[in-house]
Amino acid sequence: MRHLIVVFSLIILGFQANGQLYMAQNGEVSFFSKTPLEDIDALNKQVGSIINADNNEVAVQMRVTNFVFPNKLMQEHFNENYLESDKFPSATFKGKIREVIDLKVPGTYAVTAVGTATIHGITNPIEIKGTIVSKGDQVSLACQFDIKLVDYKIDIPRIVFAKIAEVIRVSSKINYVKK
Amino acid sequence: MKTKILFLFGMLCATPLLGQNDLLTMLNQEDAKKITYTQATFKGSRFINGQTVETIAKKHINFWISHRFGALNSGFMDNFLGLDEAKIRLGLEYGLSDVWLLGMGRSTIEKTYDFYSKYKVLKQSNQMPVTLTVYGSLATNTMPTGYSLPSGNIMRYENNLQRQTYMGQILIARKFTDKLSLQIMPTVLHNNKVESIYFDNDLYSLGFGGRYKLTNRLSLSAEYYKNIVDTENFLKTSGTAYPYQDSFSIGFDIETGGHVFQLHFTNSKGMIEKHFISQTTGTWANTDIFYGFNLARTFSLEPDKKNKK
């Protein structure tokens, strides 16, 4: 019986150590490409993310195929030709918030996440500025940054070059819940 | 002993949670639990003559222009290897939803109108091995009565009901790798009136199709229909050989933004099931084959989201 208590306390200890994690399953990431010929935008509403409030580490993961375009043919080209989502199914970010903040304390924080982004199988260092609003057990993050297609070896054929911008503006809005 | 095992079990439960080093690994584990659907098993909604499991997106329109030139063996001086003549089919498809489409077309051959619908029942995913689509069509022949067929028979119609042909297909496909997708299609075709008493009104056929992606924008595709016909019995009862062949087509799909071009060789002159499954007369052995192309242009009727805002 005493042993059982030890076992259960170990399990509980395990869960308690998890108390500082903020998790999100349905974060939103969208991107926008603007050229004189064509505006392209797409939205992914199934972005997963975790923030560890102990060390302020952040991870974001999304499936490339979950980006929804108003034009479905464009969506297919995006997956088949540009991002090659069969070969590289997901896009990720992994990094750390540079500022010394405690997310468990409610408030609004301007933050800078420094880390690496992996898109199209290519990993590059990246710095993302954003805002975090904490309500204690819920945290929301909003940020915007630019991605250069060349950095991630996303080839645009010359004939459609004029229709797709070289720099894509990415916006993100993620609501986390404490786990 | 039992408590030791329990203790170990407790440790095991505790350790992965204590060590939260890799947040990305955790996210990937969460992601693996979700259903992820296979995308773009085929480039277009049709292989060459027949249909693929693909439907078109909601509120999208596909405009098909299909050409088949004359037979390659029809002579250079007489027919410029077939390029002097062409049979055409014009078609329109509309996506009622992402899995359901309606379509219609008009073929030069036998002045035929066709109406069809395709519904995607199962979608291949990490939990489902295949995509399954059901497909049905109606073809209406509007030729003047008493015209002669390539087989030599004369076709006479007494009423409009006799001009109808019905076709049902189950399309089952699997994307094996990002390059290779294969499909089988059991088919039943019913002619309300057949050209002579020796033909059955019902024709059963088993189709096979596939595509292999050579590059991101170029793929090789082929399709074959094996008709289940007792040709020996046909010869015995009618005294003539069965006039029709199994259909085989091979070609390339070239994709440029917004268009799909399909260039191919086929022994079928017709572009709807009634014609290419049940009335193929060409044979590959005699180079009695036809060069052709299909062109599909997709239009989106989905209102632009930015304009709404």
- Residue B186 is part of which domain span? 53-308
Work out the pLDDT band at B217, boundaries 50, 70, 90: confident
Asked if residue B257 has pLDDT above 80, the reply is: no
Q: pLDDT-derived band of residue B300, with 50, 70 and 90 as boundaries?
A: confident
CA distances from B147 to A101, B107, B108, B157 (A): 86, 16, 14, 10
Q: Cα torsion at B146, B147, B148, B154 (round to 10°)?
A: -20
The answer, yes or no, to whether residue B18 has pLDDT greater than 50, is no
CATH assignment of the domain containing A94: 2.40.128.110
Amino acid A141: pLDDT: 95
Written as one string, the DSSP assignment of chain A is: -HHHHHHHHHHHHHHHHTTTEEEEEEEEEEEEEE-SS-EEEEEEEEEEEEEETTTTEEEEEEEGGGEE-SSHHHHHHIIIIIS-TTTS-EEEEEEEE-S---TTS-EEEEEEEEEEEEETTEEEEEEEEEEEEE-SSEEEEEEEEEEEGGGGT----GGGGGGS-SEEEEEEEEEEEE-
Q: Which is it for the CA torsion A146, A152, A155, A158, positive or negative?
A: positive
- What pLDDT does residue B72 have? 86
Kindly state the percentage of chain B with pLDDT values over 70.
90
For residues B267 and B249, the answer to whether their CB atoms sit within 8 Å is yes
Neighbours of B235 (CB within 10 A): 13
Q: What is the CATH number of the domain that holds B234?
A: 2.40.160.40
Percent of all residues in chain A with a pLDDT value above 90, rounded to a whole number: 54
**Å from A23 to nearest chain B CA?**
9
Is B33 within 8 Å of A31 (Cβ atoms)?
no
| B7, B30, B39 member nearest A6 (Cβ) | B7
Average pLDDT of chain A to the nearest whole number: 86
Per-residue pLDDT at B177 exceeds 60: yes
For B278-292, the pLDDT digits (tens) are 999 889 988 889 999
Mutate to test the interface with B, among A72, A85, A154, A155 (most CBs of B within 10 A): A72
Burial of A5: CB neighbours in 10 Å, binned 0-12, 13-18, 19+: exposed
For the cut 70, the answer to whether the pLDDT of residue B220 exceeds it is: yes
Chain B nearest-CA residue for A79: B39
* Mean pLDDT within A54-69: 92
Task: Choose the weakest-confidence range: A129-143, A145-159, B102-116.
Answer: A145-159
Question: Domain span at residue A125?
Answer: 2-178
DSSP 3-state of B59: coil
Q: Considering only CA atoms, which of B216, B183, B235, B230 is closest in space to residue B46?
A: B183
pTM score:
0.80
Q: What is the pLDDT of residue B154?
A: 92
Residue of A nearest to B218 (CA): A81
Residue B167 lies in a domain: yes
Per-residue pLDDT band at B81 (split at 50, 70, 90): confident
pLDDT in tens, A21-50: 999 999 999 999 887 777 888 999 999 999
Q: Does B220 reside within a domain?
A: yes
CA distance B221 to chain A (A): 17
Q: Which residue has the higher pLDDT, B107 or A15?
A: B107
Asked if A172 contacts A144 with a C-beta cutoff of 8 angstroms, the reply is yes
Q: Inform me whether the pLDDT recorded for B16 exceeds 80.
A: no
Return the pLDDT at B260: 84
Beta-carbon contacts of residue B273 (< 8 Å; ≥ 6 apart): B50, B137, B139, B167, B169, B187, B189
In a domain, B48, yes or no: no
**B268 pLDDT exceeds 50?**
yes
pLDDT in tens, B115-166: 999 999 999 998 899 999 999 999 999 999 999 998 889 999 999 999 999 9
On average, the pLDDT of chain B sits at 88
Residue A125 to chain B, least CA–CA distance (Å) = 16
Total domains present in chain A: 1
> How many angstroms separate the CA of residue B103 from the nearest CA in chain A?
18
- Over residues B33-40, the mean pLDDT reads 85
Residue B15 lies in a domain: no
- A156 versus B279: which is more confidently predicted? B279
CA angle A162, B44, A33 (to 5 degrees): 25
Query: What residue has token string 């095991």?
Result: B12
Task: Please list the residues that pair with B86 across neighbouring strands.
Answer: B69
pLDDT at A168 over 60: yes
Of B6, B57, B178, the CB nearest to A7: B6
Residues B258-267 have a mean pLDDT of: 88
Q: Which chain A residues contact residue B10 at CB under 8 A? A: 6-8, 10-11
Q: How far is CA B178 from the centre of its chain?
A: 19
- Residue B73 has what pLDDT? 86
Of A52, A58, A65, the CB nearest to B36: A65
pLDDT of residue B8: 59
